[in-house]
Amino acid sequence: MTNRTIHFTKPFCTTELLADECAENVFKAKRMGRNWKEIKQKLNIGVKKERSKLKLVLQKSNNKFPDEKADILATILNSVLFATDQDLLDAIREFQNTPIMYDLNYFVNIVDAIGLAGTMTSYTVGKNAFTTEVPKFLERFLQALSQMTKIDIAIINDLKNWMKNTNDKHHAKHIAFTIANLYRRFCESTKSRKYACENGKM
């Protein structure tokens, strides 16, 4: 005979709270990030290795023959995903101020990788660097950003604020294109999102 006794305990949180909110409020847990990329960056897992790896990958990619340049993008992107904001900024500044910079295809790979990464870190660094230090690559960055590997609503919201506050109509047009493309991809990613978008719930 099976013991079917059921014990009811008082819940730690109300059903109105999400699991992460409950953990933060009741157990004083600290939110480390929204995904493993952010968590690893906060924990500084292998930061020194990744920092040297990013620089090494960029140096090696410049030695590739022109027909191999496209193949190195995936390697650069992988390094960018786990790089810190300082790593990315150092890479942009260092390779901007060296003769290597004259290899346009080479620097374009860096710009594309920073846009495609789709992390808040890479987005923030790219936005700041390509609006002030290397503005001629801003359009390229926004084009790459519109195809980011993982769509982040927080980035879309920041893009909307950026577009609203910019005085440059040319930049606003490219930012609007990026927002529209990201929203389209986001809405088409699942049936439930598509339904929500079509009914004005997003």
pLDDT in tens, 91-133: 888 766 655 444 556 677 888 999 999 899 999 999 999 999 8
**Co-location of 155 and 125 in the same domain:** no
**Co-location of 54 and 100 in the same domain:** yes
Examine residue 163 and state whether it is found in any structural domain, yes or no: yes
Examine residue 99 and state whether it is found in any structural domain, yes or no: yes
Q: E strand or H helix at 145, and its extent?
A: helix 138-145
**Co-location of 156 and 121 in the same domain:** no
With a cut of 70, list the residues of the chain below it in pLDDT. 1, 36-37, 39-52, 55-56, 58-71, 95-106, 202
- CA–CA separation, 14 and 67 (whole Å): 59
The domain of 165 spans: 151-202
**Co-location of 39 and 129 in the same domain:** yes
pLDDT attached to residue 202: 66
pLDDT attached to residue 101: 46
Tell me which amino acid residue 56 is.
Answer: L
pLDDT attached to residue 79: 83
**Co-location of 40 and 110 in the same domain:** yes
pLDDT attached to residue 33: 75
Backbone angles phi, psi at 55, to 5 degrees: -65, -40
**Co-location of 122 and 65 in the same domain:** yes
Backbone angles phi, psi at 29, to 5 degrees: -70, 150
Angle made by CA atoms 160, 163, 165, in degrees to the nearest 5: 110
Boundary of a domain, candidates 82, 102, 137: 137
**Co-location of 39 and 131 in the same domain:** yes
pLDDT attached to residue 176: 96
b/e burial code for range 34-56 (CB count within 10 A of at least 16 → b): eeebeebbeeeeebeebbebbbe
Examine residue 45 and state whether it is found in any structural domain, yes or no: yes
- CA–CA separation, 44 and 50 (whole Å): 10
**Co-location of 43 and 78 in the same domain:** yes
**Contact predicate 115/130, CB 8 Å:** no
Q: What is the DSSP string of 80-115?
A: HHT--HHHHHHHHHHHHSSGGGG-HHHHHHHHHHHH
Examine residue 3 and state whether it is found in any structural domain, yes or no: no
**Contact predicate 53/79, CB 8 Å:** yes
**Contact predicate 57/79, CB 8 Å:** yes
Examine residue 170 and state whether it is found in any structural domain, yes or no: yes
- CA–CA separation, 129 and 95 (whole Å): 13
**Co-location of 39 and 87 in the same domain:** yes
Domains in the chain: how many in total? Answer: 2
User: Could you tell me the pTM of the whole model?
Assistant: 0.67
Task: Quote the distance between the C-alpha of residue 90 and its chain's center.
Answer: 18
**Co-location of 37 and 129 in the same domain:** yes
Report how far apart the first and last C-alpha atoms of the chain are (Å, whole number): 52
Tokens 């620097």, residue located: 107
pLDDT attached to residue 49: 43
pLDDT attached to residue 168: 92
**Co-location of 43 and 82 in the same domain:** yes
Examine residue 110 and state whether it is found in any structural domain, yes or no: yes
pLDDT attached to residue 94: 74
